[in-house]
A and B are shown apart, each in its own frame.
Chain A
Amino acid sequence: MAKLTIEDLKKIKERVEREDQFRAGSKRVKITVHMGTCGIASGAKEILDTFMNEISESNATEVMVTTSGCIGICSREPLATVEEQGKDPIVYEYLTPNKARQIFKQHILGGVVQTEFVMAKGSEHDTKKGVGK
C-alpha cells in the first residue's frame, strides 16, 4: 500500500466513521465484547463464542459482533456493550453464556433490555463531558 498522507488519514477517518455508523448501514445492532486479559480470563471468549453461535443459529444478518479492550471495571467482567440503532448503548455485566443467550434472544432479537444484567446505559465517552470526544 502506498504511503499515507494527512489527506489519506482524514479520508480513512471519514470512511470509518461512516462505516462505524452501522446505524446507517445494514447492521441494526452492534455487540462489543470487552476482551482485555482480564476479560478473557473471566470468560469473555466464551461470551464472544456464544454471541457468534446465536447469530449463526438465528441467521440474524443485522447483528454484528466486535471486540474491544477492557473498559476499566475489571471486577464486573465479562462485559459486553449492545448498541441498537438510535438508542443508548447498554452495558451488560457479569456475563455467562446463559445470560448472553438470554440477552441475544430477548434484547437483541426481542428488543427488551434485560435490566437485571445491565450495569449501565450510555457511554462514558459522551460528549457532554467533553472528554475523549
Chain B
Amino acid sequence: MKVYRAHILTCGGTGCHASGSDAVHRAVVQELISRNLSNEIAVVETGCNGFCAAGPIMVIYPEGTFYQYVKPEDVPEIIEEHIIKGRPVKRLMYKEPVTEKTIPHMLDIPFFGKQKLIALKNRGLIDAEKIDEYIARDGYMGAAKALTQMTPDEVIEEVKKSGLRGRGGGGFPTGLKWSFARKSPGDVKYILCNADEGDPGAFMDRSILEADPHAVLEGMIIGGYAIGANEGYIYCRAEYPLAIKRLTIAIDQAKEYGLLGRNILGTDYSLDIFIYQGAGAFVCGEETALMNSIEGKRGMPRPRPPFPATKGLWQKPSVLNNVETFANIPQIILNGGDWYASMGTERSKGTKVFALTGAVNNVGLVEVPMGTPIGDIIFDIGGGIKKGKQYKAAQLGGPSGGCIPAEALNTPTDYEEIVKLGAIMGSGGLIVMDEDTCMVDTAKFFMEFCQEESCGKCTPCREGTKRMIEILKRICDGQGKEGDIELLEELAYTIKDSALCGLGQTAPNPVLSTIRYFRHEYEAHIYEKRCPAVVCSKLFKSPCQHACPIGMDVPAYMALVRANRLTDAFKVMKRTNPFPGVCGRVCPQFCTKKCRRGQLDEPMAIAWIKRFIADNAKRPKIDQVPVTRKQKIAVIGAGPAGLTAAQDLCLRGYKVTVFEELPHAGGMMRYAIPEYRLPRNVIEQEVDDIRALGVEIKTNTRVGRDVSFEQIRKDYDAVVIAVGAHKSWKLDIEGEDLDGVWGAVEFLREVNLGKKVGIGKRVAVVGGGNSAIDAARTAVRLGAKDVTILYRRERKDMPAWENEIVAAEHEGVKIEYLVAPVRLIGKNGKLVGVECQRMRLGEFDRSGRRKPIPIQGSEFTLAVDTIIPAISQNTDASFIPAGSDVALDKWGGIKTEGRAKNRTSAEGVFIAGDAASGPATVVEAIDMGHKTAIDVDAYIRAKNNEPPYKEPPEETIEIPFEVDEEVVETPRAKMPELKKSERMISFKEVELGYSKKAAHREACRCLRCDAEL
C-alpha cells in the first residue's frame, strides 16, 4: 500500500456539498498537481462529518487539524503554509472553543436531569463483562445482606414494604407473589426471569441485560432465597444475541466467584441459573405459556388456577418476574423498602423505565419516578416531536395497551390512572405518533400483531381477532360500512371477556382506545373514504392530492409544467379550484406537509408552482352557461365559499345571485388578507371568470339592510349563507372602549376598503395567528414606528406560518412571547398603554400544548397608542331576524347541522365557509362551497323527484409521465422577494413569483407518487 505523508480530508456530505465543498476538493487536487505533491499527499472526500454548519470542512492528518468555512481561494494558502511549511493556518481553524462552560452539564439536559435511576443505575458506567466493576458499585451487596442478615420472610417483607409491582406489565405486587410461592409446599421450586421482551417498541430489558446483567442475577438470587428455589431460568428471546452473550459471561463469572452454585457466599443457600433461549413467540411472555415453552412444548397458556405459585414449571411452585423487576430488587434490599416506597404515587411506588420511541427527538430509555406526567416524558425528556410536527398520540403498553391522546398528557404514570385512559402501563414501551400516523392503520397493525401471535388455543382470540382485522382492513381499504365501528366494539368486548390469557384479553385494547379518542378518523375512512393522516394508500393516488381538501391533482399539473403545457395545467387546476391564483399565494398547503419529496430533501413548492401557472398560463375563453333549470339560488356573501357554491350551481344550470355587502367580491380574501400578500387583480380575475359563467354578483348589497333575509328566502328556491366570520373577538379586559382599540378584521377591512385609517406610532397586536401577523405587517406599512406582537405562548406554538413570522420580523415587528394583556390604560378616552403580564407554561391543555399561566407580580406596562386584538373571529349573524327558523348557537353564530355541517335548522337554507366552520382557510372554504353546491342540487332534485345529477364527461387532458432516472437531492427553488426597503413603504406584493426556469426546475422535482408502476 502506498504511504502518504499527509491526508487531506474534504467533506463531501450534503451540507458541505451545498456550501461548495466540491470546488474546494477540486482546488486541492489542482493545487497538489501544480506543486507536484500528488505522490506525497492523499486527498480523500469523506462523508458527512456532522458539523455541516461550518462547511465546507477540511481535516488534515496526521495532525487532525480541523479547518472550517474553507473556500477554494484558501486552498493555496493551506497547502503552502500547512503542508509545505508545517504551519497550520490559524484563521481557518475551528474557533477555539469559547469555553467549556458553554457545554451543558448532563443533568442540565432535561433528558438526563429529569430521570431517576434505580433499575438503570449502572448504565453507561460499568463494563458489563467485568463482574468486578459491578461489585465495585455495591454489586452483590444486596444479595449478601439478604443471605446473611435476613430470613426469607424478612426479605419478602422488605419487598412488600417497597410496594414494588411487576414491571413486565401485570403490575402484580412482587412481594405478594413471592409470599405465595414461599408458602406453597414443595422441595423443588423455581425462580424464573422473563426476558422474552416481545412487546414491540420496548427494549429496556435488552438494555439492562446488556449493560448490567449481574443486577438481574443478583435479583434472582434474592428472589430465589426468599421463595426457597435452588434452580432458576432466564427465558431470553433469541433476537437478543448480545444480551444472551453477556448473560452467559455474567453467569460464568458469578459461578467462579461462588455467587452462584452451591453455598453462595459461604451460606447454606445454593442456586443455579440457566439461560433458556426463546424461539420467537409473543405469547411466551405470558407466564404459563413461558413455562410450557421451557418444558419443550408449544408455548400455549394454561388455564389458571392452579397458579404458578403453586403449580408452575414442571408442576412445581414457581415465581416468574421480569428483568426490570429483578434489577430493582438489590437496591430495595440494600436501601430498604421504605426508601423505595418514598418515590412514586399512592399505589405505584418507585420508578419505571420507559422505552421512548417513535416521532420524538430523543429516542431512548428513560427511568422516572412513578407519577411523572406522560407529557413531561414526551416533551421535556423526549424533547418534543420530530421536525416540529403535531403530537397525535402515544401508544403505551404495546399491542396490549392503548393510546394517550393530547388531552391526556397530564396523566401521571400510575398503573391505575393509565388504565382509566384505556391503556396499560405494560412493560413501558412508549411510542410517540405524530400527525402523519393514521390511527385506524395503527389499530390494524396491532390487531395483526396479536392475530399473528395468537397461539390458537382459544376461539375468541384465534377467530375474533381475525374478524376484527377483516373489518379494519376493509375500513383502511375504503370499503368500510355504516355500523363497522359498532361491530368492532362488540367483537372487542366479547374477546376481552372470553379469551383465556392476557394476550387475548388485551388484544382489542388498541382498537377500543383508538375508537375512543379518534372515532372521527374511523368515520373519515368509512364515510368520506379519506385517510386524514394520508397513510392508507388504497384510498388515494398521491399523498398531496389526498391531503388537499379539494383534491387538486398536483402531480398532473407538475407534469404539465414540466412539459411546458401551461394552459392544460391551468385547466387541470380549475377543475377543482376556482381560485388557483389566490391559493398559489395564501394556501396553507396541507399538500406539502405530506409531500414524499420532503422525506428526501425538501417538499415541493406546490403553491408557488400553482401561482406560476395561474400567473402565466394563457387562459381559456369562458362561455356563459345556459340556464337550464327553473329554480333560482341565492348566495349571501361573495367569499371563496359562496363564490364556489355559486359557480358549481351555475355550472349545473341554475340561475345564481350572490349578495355582497362590500364594494368588491372576494370576502375575506379581499378584505382580510393584505394586498402585499395577495394583489387585488388576482382576485378580480378569478371572480370575473365566475361572473363570465353567468353568476350575478350584487355588491354593496347587505342582506338585512338593503334587502331582507325573509324576502330572499321567498324569492329563491334555496339560500346559501356564506357570510364568513368578520367580527373580531374582544379581549374581554378593562378599557376596550378606548380610542385606539381596533379589532384585527375590522382594521384590515378598513385598510382594504381604501379608507384612511389613523394608526398611531406605537402599535401592539395581540395574538399568534396569521391575522395577527397581517395586522402587524399592515401597521408597519401604514407608518407605525414600533409594532409589537404580544403572544401568550411560545413561538413554536404560534399558529401563523413560519415564513410569515420571519417576514414580519424582517420588517421590524417585535414579538413578545409568553405575555398577555390584562388592562388597557387610557387618558382622556384615548389609549396610552397596555398593562401586560408574563406567563409561564403549566400543564398541557386539550390541544397538547402547555397552558400559559400568569406569573403574579410580573405585570409591566407597554406604552402604546393603538392595540389590535387578533385572537379570533366570529360570524355576524345580525341579518337574521329574531325568531327566524334559522337557529343560532349559544355564541351567537349560526347553528349548523349534518355530518358536513353545511345545513342550518331551516329547510332550504344552507351554510358554507367560515360562517359554518369558524375561521379557516381559503381552500377549506372552497371545499365547503363545492360540498354545499352538491347538497343544494341534491335537495332540489329530491324535492322534485328528479334523478340525481350526472357529471358531464370532462375534457380529457393527457398527462405525460416523465421522471428523472435517478433522484438527486435538490433543494426547492427559492422564491424571489421584494427588497425590504421597498416593502416597508408600500403594499406591493412581496413574493415576486417564479421565473419560467425556476418553475420548470421545481416541477421536475416531483416524484410522481400518482404513477402506478
In this assembly, does B992 line the interface, its C-beta being within 8 Å of a C-beta of chain A? no
In this assembly, does B268 line the interface, its C-beta being within 8 Å of a C-beta of chain A? no
* B265 close to A6 (CB less than 8 A): yes
* A20 CB contacts on chain B under 8 angstroms: 133, 136
Contact with A along B80-119 (1 / 0, CB 8 A): 0000000000000010111010111111110111011110
User: Nearest-CB distance from A89 to chain B (Å)?
Assistant: 8
CB nearest neighbor in B for A89: B106
**Top 9 closest pairs, chain A to chain B, by CB:** A69-B211, A105-B64, A3-B258, A71-B124, A16-B136, A75-B363, A132-B121, A115-B97, A124-B112
* B103 close to A90 (CB less than 8 A): yes
Contact with B along A84-106 (1 / 0, CB 8 A): 00001011001010110110111
Stretch at the interface among B43-51, B517-525, B829-837: B43-51
* A37 CB contacts on chain B under 8 angstroms: 206, 210, 240, 242-243
Stretch at the interface among B138-146, B855-863, B907-915: B138-146
Q: From known contacts A3-B265, A5-B265, A17-B136, infer whether A113 and B123 are also in contact, taking CB-CB under 8 Å.
A: no
> Which one, B50, B242, B366, contacts A72 given CB within 8 A?
B366
* B111 close to A6 (CB less than 8 A): no
* A106 close to B50 (CB less than 8 A): no
The answer for the CA separation of A50 and B66 in the assembled complex, in Å, is 17
Q: From known contacts A16-B133, A68-B127, A125-B125, infer whether A98 and B46 are also in contact, taking CB-CB under 8 Å.
A: yes
> Which one, A1, A72, A88, A132, contacts B364 given CB within 8 A?
A72
* B109 CB contacts on chain A under 8 angstroms: 119-120
In this assembly, does B567 line the interface, its C-beta being within 8 Å of a C-beta of chain A? no
> Which one, A5, A70, A133, contacts B211 given CB within 8 A?
A70
The answer for the CA separation of A76 and B48 in the assembled complex, in Å, is 15
CB nearest neighbor in B for A36: B210
* B133 close to A4 (CB less than 8 A): no
* B59 CB contacts on chain A under 8 angstroms: 98, 101-102
* A120 close to B100 (CB less than 8 A): no
* A133 close to B138 (CB less than 8 A): yes
In this assembly, does B158 line the interface, its C-beta being within 8 Å of a C-beta of chain A? no
**Residues 335 to 377 of chain B near chain A (Cβ within 8 Å):** 361-366
* B97 close to A69 (CB less than 8 A): no
The answer for the CA separation of A113 and B265 in the assembled complex, in Å, is 45
> Which one, A67, A101, A104, contacts B127 given CB within 8 A?
A67
* A69 CB contacts on chain B under 8 angstroms: 122-124, 128, 207, 210-212
* A123 CB contacts on chain B under 8 angstroms: 106, 125
Determine chain B's interface SS by DSSP, over half rule: loop
User: Nearest-CB distance from B408 to chain A (Å)?
Assistant: 25
CB nearest neighbor in A for B239: A37
In this assembly, does A55 line the interface, its C-beta being within 8 Å of a C-beta of chain B? no
Report which B residues bind A (CB closer than 8 A): 9, 46-51, 54, 59, 61, 63-64, 66, 94, 96-98, 100, 102-109, 111-113, 115-118, 120-128, 132-133, 135-141, 144, 148, 203, 206-207, 210-212, 240, 242-243, 256-259, 263, 265-266, 361-366
* A106 CB contacts on chain B under 8 angstroms: 64, 66
* B107 close to A122 (CB less than 8 A): yes
The answer for the CA separation of A101 and B139 in the assembled complex, in Å, is 35
Report which A residues bind B (CB closer than 8 A): 1-6, 9, 12-13, 15-17, 20, 32, 34, 36-38, 40, 66-76, 81, 88, 90-91, 94, 96, 98-99, 101-102, 104-106, 112-126, 128-129, 131-133
Q: From known contacts A9-B140, A37-B210, infer whether A105 and B63 are also in contact, taking CB-CB under 8 Å.
A: yes
* A6 close to B364 (CB less than 8 A): no
CB nearest neighbor in B for A14: B136
The answer for the CA separation of A38 and B413 in the assembled complex, in Å, is 26
18 additional contacts, CB 8 Å, given A6-B148, A121-B106?
A4-B266, A5-B265, A13-B136, A20-B133, A38-B203, A69-B123, A72-B120, A99-B50, A101-B61, A101-B64, A105-B63, A106-B66, A115-B103, A126-B107, A129-B116, A131-B116, A132-B122, A133-B137
* B257 CB contacts on chain A under 8 angstroms: 1, 3-4
* A121 close to B100 (CB less than 8 A): yes
* A131 close to B117 (CB less than 8 A): yes
* B138 CB contacts on chain A under 8 angstroms: 13, 133
The answer for the CA separation of A71 and B364 in the assembled complex, in Å, is 9
* B133 CB contacts on chain A under 8 angstroms: 16, 20
